[in-house]
């Protein structure tokens, strides 16, 4: 039952439920069922060493889609980042500059590789890292940059690529939210030395609940990544197995079967999302206190979600009340995206990692005390005025119209 907007009463703008996202259909069902049936007949197994291997086919198709040479499938978006960092063979105690507005899946692989996260501040309009802040965070200890493309919009990759080249750093793209996003005509994931993708349910495409993919154009990184994701095994006669430490991040044939079908749908999914979000941006341009997310020059976002920004000076209430009111009008929005920058999470703020060791910050290879609290004021400010809207390819122009009507109604009630 949709609640009424408390201060006005009357009927909500929207009474019917918001459209559910239907992510899979009979094609995925058939693909997965075919794998199971072949296995029942003894002609295939349910893991990547089947012959022919659907996992290897998925890797090849994913690489081809992104215009790169290599891809390594894994179990999750988090593992895809771990695979990327491990493939670069960085020494313990090195620093990795990344965003304070991201999922913990970006950060935990840094720590598990005995590296130190350093957080660059963000552009409040995009929630992506500000390259100027990235540059200020680079020290003689810096070894890598992880560019997190929030909400489907790429970071300013020209500047980040230039910084990485000037300082000899490994540039990794976290594309968990940015499948098929474009920056100056190039696909997200294809601009850094490594690109990482999440294939969990809810992302643009899925490989059946969870899954990940790491892509690169460099053969050495690919070989390291492939070995690391399969417990250190070697797939080449000139390399010894288990000469490289690794983990079991193998994708299964069932996941790959679904991922192959989903990959063929990706362009259509992204096109539909772009059309809806661009129409929303145009339709809300007259609003006084709410603006659409900033889109940087050269970017074509793929809109995993879209974020709106509330001018708190123009309203009598805060962002949480605005979100509550919009939900009361039948529009599903969230406030703040995440509540705080990730460096405020206890496992970072209190160094609660490996027992009481405070490792890797206490590592003998690392020689300085790093303070996180308050280090990214723009990120802290940005999270205080953000609304997140779940708009997807199963929505229609009716949802866009209702969203704008609800925003108009809320502004009429809360403008100063």
Strand pairing report for 306-310 and 142-148? unpaired
Tokens of 9: 């009463």
Is 60 exceeded by the pLDDT of residue 6?
no
**In angstroms, what CA-CA distances link 89 with 116, 224, 376, 387?**
15, 8, 29, 39
The answer to which of 41-50, 53-62, 160-169, 280-289 has the lowest mean pLDDT is 41-50
From edge to edge, which strands make up the β-sheet containing 290-292? 290-292, 306-310, 386-389, 333-335
Long-range contacts of 29-37, Cβ-Cβ distance < 8 Å, separation of 24 or more: 31/257, 31/258, 31/260, 31/261, 32/208, 32/254, 32/257, 32/258, 34/257, 35/253, 35/254, 35/257, 36/254
Which pLDDT belongs to residue 1? 37
Domain that holds residue 257: 26-263
Is 50 exceeded by the pLDDT of residue 163?
yes
Q: Is residue 172 part of a domain?
A: yes
Helical packing angle, 26-40 and 253-283, nearest 10°: 170
Q: Is residue 391 part of a domain?
A: no
Torsion sign over Cα 90, 94, 99, 100: positive
301, 276 contact by CB (below 8 A): no
**In angstroms, what CA-CA distances link 95 with 91, 163, 193, 370?**
10, 15, 17, 11
Q: Is residue 55 part of a domain?
A: yes
Is 50 exceeded by the pLDDT of residue 159?
yes
Q: What is the dihedral of CA 200, 182, 134, 117, to 10 degrees?
A: 10
Q: Is residue 166 part of a domain?
A: yes
Rounded percentage of the chain residues whose pLDDT exceeds 90: 89
Which pLDDT belongs to residue 269? 98
Is 70 exceeded by the pLDDT of residue 354?
yes
326, 399 contact by CB (below 8 A): no
Q: Is residue 413 part of a domain?
A: no
Is 60 exceeded by the pLDDT of residue 3?
no
- State the pTM of this model: 0.96
70, 217 contact by CB (below 8 A): yes
164-187: average pLDDT: 98
Which pLDDT belongs to residue 351? 96
Number of domains in the chain: 1
Which pLDDT belongs to residue 91? 95
Is 80 exceeded by the pLDDT of residue 120?
yes
Tokens of 310: 């509330």
Tokens of 395: 């929505």
350-371: average pLDDT: 90
Q: If you search the block for the tokens 């840094």, which residue do you land on?
A: 110
| DSSP H/E element including 271 | helix 253-283
Is 80 exceeded by the pLDDT of residue 50?
no
Residue 226 maps to which CATH number?
Answer: 3.40.640.10
Q: Is residue 189 part of a domain?
A: yes
Which pLDDT belongs to residue 7? 52
Which pLDDT belongs to residue 342? 98
Phi/psi of residue 71, each to 5°?
-145, 145
Tokens of 214: 């790491």
Is 80 exceeded by the pLDDT of residue 15?
yes
Which pLDDT belongs to residue 299? 98
Per DSSP (E only), the strands in 99-210 are 116-119, 142-148, 170-174, 182-183, 186-187, 194-198
| DSSP H/E element including 279 | helix 253-283
Q: Is residue 234 part of a domain?
A: yes
For residues 150 and 297, give the distance between their C-alpha atoms in angstroms, rounded to a whole number.
16
Which pLDDT belongs to residue 94? 96
Q: Is residue 386 part of a domain?
A: no
Read out DSSP for 69-106? SEEEEES-HHHHHHHHHHHTTPPTT-EEEE-SSS-HHH
């Amino acid at each position: 039952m949709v609640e009424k907007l408390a201060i006005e009463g009357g009927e909500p703008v929207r009474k019917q439920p918001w459209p559910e996202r239907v992510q899979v259909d009979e094609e995925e069902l058939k693909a997965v069922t075919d794998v199971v049936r072949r296995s029942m007949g003894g002609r295939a197994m349910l893991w990547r060493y089947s012959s022919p291997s659907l996992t290897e086919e998925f890797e090849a198709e994913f690489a081809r889609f992104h215009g790169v040479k290599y891809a390594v499938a894994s179990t999750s978006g988090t593992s895809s980042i771990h695979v990327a960092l491990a493939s670069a063979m960085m020494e313990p105690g090195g620093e990795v500059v990344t965003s304070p507005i991201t999922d913990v899946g970006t950060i935990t692989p840094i720590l598990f590789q005995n590296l130190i996260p350093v957080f660059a501040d963000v552009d409040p309009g995009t929630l992506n890292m500000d390259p100027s802040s990235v540059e200020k965070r680079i020290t003689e200890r810096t070894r890598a940059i992880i560019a997190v493309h929030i909400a489907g919009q790429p970071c300013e990759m020209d500047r980040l690529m230039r910084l990485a080249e000037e300082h000899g750093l490994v540039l990794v793209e976290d594309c968990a939210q940015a499948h098929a996003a474009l920056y100056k005509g190039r696909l997200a994931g294809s601009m850094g030395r490594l690109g990482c993708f999440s294939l969990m349910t809810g992302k643009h495409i899925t490989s059946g609940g969870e899954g990940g993919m790491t892509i690169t154009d460099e053969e050495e990184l690919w070989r390291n990544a492939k070995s690391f994701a399969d417990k250190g095994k070697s797939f080449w006669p000139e390399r010894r197995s288990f000469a490289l430490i690794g983990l079991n991040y193998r994708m299964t044939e069932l996941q790959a079967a679904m991922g192959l079908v989903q990959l063929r749908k990706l362009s259509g999914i992204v096109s539909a999302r772009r059309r809806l979000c661009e129409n929303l941006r145009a339709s809300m341009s007259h609003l006084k206190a709410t603006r659409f997310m900033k889109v940087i020059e050269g970017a074509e976002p793929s809109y995993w979600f879209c974020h709106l920004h509330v001018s708190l000076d123009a309203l009598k209430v805060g962002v949480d009340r605005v979100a509550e009111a919009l939900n009361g009008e039948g529009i599903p929005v969230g406030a703040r995206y995440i509540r705080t920058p990730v460096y405020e999470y206890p496992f970072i703020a209190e160094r609660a990692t490996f027992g009481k060791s405070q490792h890797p910050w206490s590592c003998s290879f690392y020689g300085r005390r790093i303070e996180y609290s308050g280090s990214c004021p723009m990120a802290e400010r940005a999270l205080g005025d953000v609304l997140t809207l779940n708009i997807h390819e199963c929505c229609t122009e009716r949802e866009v119209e209702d969203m704008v009507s609800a925003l108009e109604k809320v502004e009429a009630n809360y403008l100063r």
